[in-house]
Amino acid sequence: MIFHMGAISSTTETDADLIVTNNFKLSSVLFDWCTRHQVRIVYASSAATYGDGSQGFDDDFGIAPLSLLQPLNAYGWSKHVFDRRLARKVSDDATMPPQWAGLKFFNVYGPNEYHKGGQQSVVAHIYPQVESGASAQLFRSHNPNYTDGGQMRDFVWVGDVVSVMTWLLDHEEVNGLFNLGSGQARSFLDLANAVYRSAGKEPSIKFIDTPLAIRDKYQYFTEARMGRLKACGYSKPFTSLEDGISAYVNGFLARPDRYR
Query: pLDDT tens digits for 162-204?
Result: 999 999 999 999 999 999 999 999 999 999 999 999 999 999 9
89 is catalytic: no
**pLDDT for residue 118:** 85
**pLDDT for residue 260:** 78
Among 43, 89, 114, 116, the active-site one is 116
**pLDDT for residue 180:** 98
Query: pLDDT tens digits for 6-33?
Result: 999 988 899 999 999 999 999 999 999 9
**pLDDT for residue 183:** 97
Among 43, 75, 127, 196, the active-site one is 75
| pLDDT classification of 148: cutoffs 50, 70, 90 | very high
| Domains of the chain with bracketed CATH | 2-253 (3.40.50.720)
Query: pLDDT tens digits for 223-257?
Result: 999 999 999 999 999 999 999 999 999 999 999 99
**pLDDT for residue 129:** 95
**pLDDT for residue 12:** 86
**pLDDT for residue 49:** 97
Name the β-bridge partners of 103.
44, 178
218 is catalytic: no
Q: For the chain, what is the mean pLDDT?
A: 96
